[in-house]
Structures are given as C-alpha cells and as structure tokens.
Amino acid sequence: QVQLVESGGGVVQPGGSLKVSCAASGFSFSAYGMHWVRQAPGKGLEWVAFIRLDGGIAFYADSVKGRFTISRDNSKNTMYLQMNSLKAEDTAVYYCAKDFLRSYNIFDVWGQGTMVTVSS
Amino acid sequence: QSVLTQPPSVSETPGQRVTISCSGGSSNIGSNTVNWYQQVPGATPKLLIYSNNHRPSGVPDRFSGSKSGTSASLAISGLQSEDEADYYCGTWDDSLNAALFGGGTKLTVL
C-alpha cells in the first residue's frame, strides 16, 4: 500500500540544524513531485517546500527560504529536508506529502509526521 | 494571517447542511483550482476535494466543493458526528510561487 514514513525529528537549539527524511513505498516514487508541510502545535497547516519528480525544480515558502533545502534520492525512494538556522517558530510536526496530478499543490497521500522542537 | 481566509469555526446539528467559505485573491483562487482537506483531531490531514469539485475515491458524496471568482466553498450535507474536524482550503499562488492553505475552520456537530 502507498505509504510515507518520516523520521529524523527531535529537539534542536535555536540556530542549529536538523535533517528529516521521508521514505516512500507502494508507488513509483520517481514519477511524483513531493512536498513538506508543517503544523505548529495547536495551529493550522503551513506548506513548506516542493520538489519536482526529478529534483530539477524546488519551491519554498518565504518563511523558510534560504534556510531550508529540499532534496530527494530516487534510487532510495527518499526525500529530505535540511533545516538550518532553526528558530523557535520552526517548532512543528513536519509531514511529507505526495503531489497529485502534477499539480504542485494537491496532497493526496500524507505521512504520519515527525516532530521538530527548537528550544534551548 | 493567512492569504486564504476561512471562518475560524462553524457549527450545525446532525443531518443538516453546512458550508465553509475560503476567500482569496486574483493570484491564487482567482487563477488556480481549490482543494479541501479534512483533519480529524489527532489524525493526519486527508484530501477531501480536489480541483474545485472532484472527490477522491472513498470520499462520500455528502461532501462537495465549488468555486466562483476569488472564493470557494465546501458543503457538507447530512452532517454526521464523525464529520467533526478541522477543514482547510488550499491552492497555488502564482505571485508567491507557493502553495497556500487557509487558516482552517473547526466544524462542530452539535
């Protein structure tokens, strides 16, 4: 069955770095764009970044541009989010999501999420 | 403050119909299709409606979507207790080159 599993979350100090991963299974990973979406505790959904199926194009939310980098390894069916210069406001559950219909903005499969806490 | 505006909360009794609005602008809803997501408390979001008015397989036809100009709506008929959840609209913004979500609407089934 189609599945996305995030990992790598944890507690990091402000200004620190963390890399989270998303392992995909049950579908042809290399045929789909992928997204990261986050949700701060008790808050709404916030789109973070998108990467095209071949990794050739990436888009970022203004709130993370210049600090976060999305990447993928199609040979490993895995997507990554490298987060640098982390701030308290980056504290959230980070979900990976599969793009639908090459839309860049329809998320049809979601992982369970990984929690990132930025705190001293 | 989200670019897409939704009411923070709506409520209705079982069996009735409720609508949730999503208001945007010319560079987002006005230029692109709208999608809706349901997030039951403690669960991950679920795609409910895509491309304005299409339902993924498995979504009951009690859920419907529409779009007009720079606004969109989600309608839920025959309300059931299990519909109690947070609902988010989403689209693409051509000016920001970014995907957007509305702030979310909490539906309470009284």
A47 in B contact zone (CB under 8 Å): yes
List chain A residues with CB under 8 Å of B32.
105
Q: What pLDDT shows up at residue B19?
A: 98
Q: Which of A95, A106, A113 sits opposite B35 (nearest CB)?
A: A106
Q: Does B86 touch chain A (CB under 8 A)?
A: yes
Cα–Cα distance measured from residue B67 to residue A89, given in angstroms and rounded to the nearest whole number: 33
Contacting residues for A52 by C-beta, under 8 A, at least 6 apart: A33, A58
Let me know: does A117 contact A91? Beta carbons within 8 Å.
Answer: yes
pLDDT tens by residue, B22-72: 999 999 999 999 999 999 999 999 999 999 999 999 999 999 999 999 999
Tell me which residue in A44, A47, A108 faces B56 most closely, judged by beta carbons: A108
Alpha carbons A119 and A13: distance in angstroms, whole number: 5
pLDDT > 70: what percent of chain A? Answer: 100
CB-closest option in B35, B47, B101 to A44: B101
For residues B45 and B88, the answer to whether their CB atoms sit within 8 Å is yes
Q: How confident is the model at residue A103 (pLDDT cuts 50, 70, 90)?
A: confident
Structure tokens given for A119? 């705190």
Other C-beta atoms closer than 10 Å to the C-beta of A112 total 13
Q: Could you tell me which chain A residue has the CA closest to the CA of B6? A: A44
**pLDDT for A101:** 85
Mean pLDDT, residues A9-26 = 98
